[in-house]
Structure 1
Amino acid sequence: MRKEFFLKMLVIVILMAIYQNKILSQEYDGIPCSFGKNPHFDSKILSKIKENKSSLELKEPLSSSDPEHYQDWASSLLKSEYTGKINQLKSPSSGKFEINDPSDVRKSCMYSAASIVDKNKNTAWAEGVEGDGIGEMVFVHLDVNRNLKIWSGFGKSDHLFKANNRPDLIGIHLLIANKCSGAQDTEIYSNFTYVGSFDYKLDDLNNYQKLEIPETLLKKYKSIITKNNIFYDCYKNNINSFLLIEIKSVYKGTKYSDTLISEIAYD
């Protein structure tokens, strides 16, 4: 009996040690989102992709609780009211208060590119430069073979929709990621091919409206897909199409000059 009890206790101790090591190895290391012009966003990214000279990598988190990975998906980001107010939690490994509170990190990223694909009209990507944000860009990862829709402006309320800028004319650039590699908590897309672009006129509507990709561009996309050697080793999905949305003109807000897009989703 004593021997069996000892063996059971030994197993429990070993399992607890494994569990503790797993926790420590996955200790949260989220970094708050910064704001303003993104110094890591290459303003010449489109021309470099066209010339096959781009080293662009987009990291997409496997969990929606890690929006800081979307930091580099946009050319700029509006400052959140939570920026600079990140509480520190105690680290299980060191015992020191040195881990950023995950909920505060998420709040600092409330206007990041993560908010444009979170299926929530109450959140939005917001550019973060002076003026109306003309020329600012944001990446979106969606399957262009499906019908798409867009919620332009800040859809949280009619008051906020009217108070802030809404995109009027947007440029849409279609890209293909020819490679995807799975990491511990992200998928990394790279080796991009430029397909083409078009301008799209939006209605000043606080609701979803269609976002239609021209048939000629879709045919070119499908043609490239069949020719390219696409390598994917991802956990989440095998969607290889990306849209780069560019603000070209806006409907002016009554109070603010920030331009927002709440959502781009499947129809």
Structure 2
Amino acid sequence: MRLFFILINLFILHFAHGQQGIKNYFPQEIIKVDLSAKTEQEINRQNQLLLQPELSTKEQAELDILLDKYGEVVESVWDVIDGGCSWYCGGGNYLVKASSSLREQNGISYQASSANDLNYKTAWVEGKADEGIGEYLEYYFKNKSPRITKIIISNGYMKSEAAWKNNNRVKKLRLYANGKTIGILNLEDSRTDQAFEVGTLGHNSDGTDLVLKFEIMEVYRGDKHNDTAITEIYFDGIDVH
């Protein structure tokens, strides 16, 4: 019996040591996102003016102000990445999977693809009855795809302030690369994009595709629903341009 307890204690110590050895990552950059109705109206107005073949002096002055504020490549307030060239011109994943997803409601999908469409209006929501600890998203990249140096997470259901507050947000995500733990991503409880620098990922020496897995470890509880949402996980890196 004594030997049994010794072995149990050794196992606990070994497990705790392993947990302590996992690297913790914190956001290198917090990117504020303006999804207000006012901004949406102004961007829509800018697009309308850009499409007009001729502008009055007053309209041209209005357009100049809007272009100075938003830039010509902005197409929609809901776009995670503005128009124009980005890392996604040559990079990006070819597949995304989820361990579970909330069933479609009122025509709104919460599938994994909703966290892979570069749109702030949609979100992946895990499908478990509880807060979804252990549920995950997996992103698949061809081995020759440009390498990743930055992971950006739009935390929670960002389409509105109410949706963000009412649903759970992620507090900690365990990041795996091809089944190996890279570390733990510690997210702030803010309606923002949070950028993590985790080294260079991709171009596996054995020629296999890169698979990044994001597993929910801990959440910030929502005011109304015990469902955990991630609006988007997107990437930046090298080997483009």
With structure 1 as the length reference, what TM-score do the two structures score?
0.47
Please state how far the C-alpha of 1:195 moved relative to its aligned partner: 4.0
1:197 equivalent to 2:182? Answer: yes
1:78 equivalent to 2:102? Answer: yes
Please state how far the C-alpha of 1:137 moved relative to its aligned partner: 1.1
1:264 is matched by which residue type in structure 2? I
Deviation by residue 1:164-210 (Cα, 9 ceiling, x = unmatched): 000001111112xxxxxxxxxxxxxxxxxx34331110001112111
Please state how far the C-alpha of 1:266 moved relative to its aligned partner: 2.8
1:80 is matched by which residue type in structure 2? E
Distance in 2 separating the partners of 1:144 and 1:198: 18
Distance in 1 separating the partners of 2:140 and 2:161: 27
1:266 is matched by which residue type in structure 2? F
Distance in 1 separating the partners of 2:114 and 2:182: 23
RMSD over aligned Cα, in angstroms?
A: 2.2
Match of 1:21 in 2: none
Match of 2:133 in 1: 134
2:215 counterpart (230, 234, 246): 246
Match of 1:114 in 2: 113
1:256 equivalent to 2:225? Answer: yes
Q: For structure 2, which runs of at least 5 residues remain unmatched after alignment? A: 1-94, 237-241
Q: Say whether the 8 Å CA contact 1:171–1:246 is kept in structure 2.
A: yes
Distance in 1 separating the partners of 2:157 and 2:165: 8
Match of 2:168 in 1: 165
With structure 2 as the length reference, what TM-score do the two structures score?
0.52
Q: For structure 1, which runs of at least 5 residues remain unmatched after alignment? A: 1-68, 83-106, 176-193, 231-239
SS in 1 for 2:148: coil
Question: Deviating runs (4+, > 4 A) in structure 1?
Answer: none
Please state how far the C-alpha of 1:144 moved relative to its aligned partner: 4.9
1:151 equivalent to 2:175? Answer: no
The 5 Å alignment of 1:12-23 reads none
Distance in 2 separating the partners of 1:197 and 1:140: 15
1:130 is matched by which residue type in structure 2? A
Deviation by residue 1:64-120 (Cα, 9 ceiling, x = unmatched): xxxxx86xx2111101115xxxxxxxxxxxxxxxxxxxxxxxx46x11110111000
Q: 1:81 to 1:171 in 2, by over 3 A?
A: same
Q: Say whether the 8 Å CA contact 1:152–1:260 is kept in structure 2.
A: yes
1:74 is matched by which residue type in structure 2? A
Distance in 1 separating the partners of 2:210 and 2:207: 15
SS in 2 for 1:245: strand
Q: Say whether the 8 Å CA contact 1:144–1:241 is kept in structure 2.
A: no
Deviation by residue 1:200-256 (Cα, 9 ceiling, x = unmatched): 10001112111322x3xx47x65xx23x144xxxxxxxxx32211111110000000
Mean alpha-carbon deviation: is it higher for 136-145 or for 126-135?
A: 136-145
1:212 counterpart (176, 179, 197): 197
Q: 1:166 to 1:195 in 2, by over 3 A?
A: same
SS in 2 for 1:76: coil
Q: Percent identity?
A: 31
Q: 1:207 to 1:130 in 2, by over 3 A?
A: same
Q: Say whether the 8 Å CA contact 1:168–1:249 is kept in structure 2.
A: yes
